[in-house]
C-alpha cells in the first residue's frame, strides 16, 4: 500500500463534495434545493498564484532523507513577508519535504445551521430577481443588499461573514465556524508554509452539499 504523503482537508471533512457558487455564478440554481435535504455554507477564499510551498506531512510520512535544499532566491517570492499561520523563513523549511510550485488558496468556511436563515436568504434572492431579472449573479446580489465588495475584502474574517449575515437579519448563533484561514493547494493538501508572487482574488461564496 502506498504511503499517504500529505494531510488533506478531505481526510476529516468532505470539502470536495461541496458545490460553491462564486461571485460570477448565477444564483437561480440553488433556489430549487430542498433546505431540509441540503447543508449550506458561507465560504471565503483568497487565491494566490506563482507560489512556492511545502505541504503538511501526513502521520505516516516519517521520511528523514534530505530531498530539498532551501534557496532564498527561489523559495522566497516576496522578500521576508510572513503569512500568518504559515510563513517561509529559513527555520520553517523542511529539507525532508518536497517543494512545490503552483496556486495556493487560503480558505475560511462556516456552516449555516439555521433553516430560517437559509429561507430568508432565498426570499431575498427572489426579491432581487424580481427587480434585476432572473439570471442574477452572486455579485449582483450582494451589491443589491448593499454589501460593498471593496469594504468586505478588507475586513477581518468575523466581519466579512457578519456583514453578510447581518444584511439578512441573521446572527452568529445560526452558524458554526469550520475552518479559519487555513491554506491548501490545488489538490486540497494542507500547507505548512508558502510564498507567492501574485495575489489573485478574494471571494465570498455560498456552498451546499446533500446531507
Q: Domain range for residue 91?
A: 9-210
Q: E strand or H helix at 120, and its extent?
A: helix 115-132
Domain tally, the chain: 1
Query: Which pLDDT belongs to residue 164?
Result: 82
What cell was used for 104? 495556493
User: Are 188 and 18 within 8 A, CB to CB?
Assistant: no
- Residue 128 domain flag: yes
CA distance 171 to 179: 18
- Residue 1 domain flag: no
Whether 151 has a pLDDT exceeding 70, the answer reads: no
- Residue 175 domain flag: yes
- Residue 45 domain flag: yes
Query: Which pLDDT belongs to residue 100?
Result: 96
Buried b (16+ CB within 10 A) or exposed e, 84-104: eebebeeeebbeebebbeebb
- The 10 Å Cβ neighbour count of residue 10 is 14
Query: Which pLDDT belongs to residue 119?
Result: 93
- Residue 3 domain flag: no
**pTM for the full predicted model:** 0.86
User: Are 123 and 135 within 8 A, CB to CB?
Assistant: no
What cell was used for 71? 534557496
Q: Per mean pLDDT, which range of 46-50, 59-63, 167-171 is the poorest?
A: 167-171
What mean pLDDT comes out for the span 48-59?
93
- Residue 85 domain flag: yes
Return the percentage of the chain with pLDDT > 70, whole number: 87
User: Are 15 and 9 within 8 A, CB to CB?
Assistant: yes
- Residue 4 domain flag: no
Amino acid at each position: 500500500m502506498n504511503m499517504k504523503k500529505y494531510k488533506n482537508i478531505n481526510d476529516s471533512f468532505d470539502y470536495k463534495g461541496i458545490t460553491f457558487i462564486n461571485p460570477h455564478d448565477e444564483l437561480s440554481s440553488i433556489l430549487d434545493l430542498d433546505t431540509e435535504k441540503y447543508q449550506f455554507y458561507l465560504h471565503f477564499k483568497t487565491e494566490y498564484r506563482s507560489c512556492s510551498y511545502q505541504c503538511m506531512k501526513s502521520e505516516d510520512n516519517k521520511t528523514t532523507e534530505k530531498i530539498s535544499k532551501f534557496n532564498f532566491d527561489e523559495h522566497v517570492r516576496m522578500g521576508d513577508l510572513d503569512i500568518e499561520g504559515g510563513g517561509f523563513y529559513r527555520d520553517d523549511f523542511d529539507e525532508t519535504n518536497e517543494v512545490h510550485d503552483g496556486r495556493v488558496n487560503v480558505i475560511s468556511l462556516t456552516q449555516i445551521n439555521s433553516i430560517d436563515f437559509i429561507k430568508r436568504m432565498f426570499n431575498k434572492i427572489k426579491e432581487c430577481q424580481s427587480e434585476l431579472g432572473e439570471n442574477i449573479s452572486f455579485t449582483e446580489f450582494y451589491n443589491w443588499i448593499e454589501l460593498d465588495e471593496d469594504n468586505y475584502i478588507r475586513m477581518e474574517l468575523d466581519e466579512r461573514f457578519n456583514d453578510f449575515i447581518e444584511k439578512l437579519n441573521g446572527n452568529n448563533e445560526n452558524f458554526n465556524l469550520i475552518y479559519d484561514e487555513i491554506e491548501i493547494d490545488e489538490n486540497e493538501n494542507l500547507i505548512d508554509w508558502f510564498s507567492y508572487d501574485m495575489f489573485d482574488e478574494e471571494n465570498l461564496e455560498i456552498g451546499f452539499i446533500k446531507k
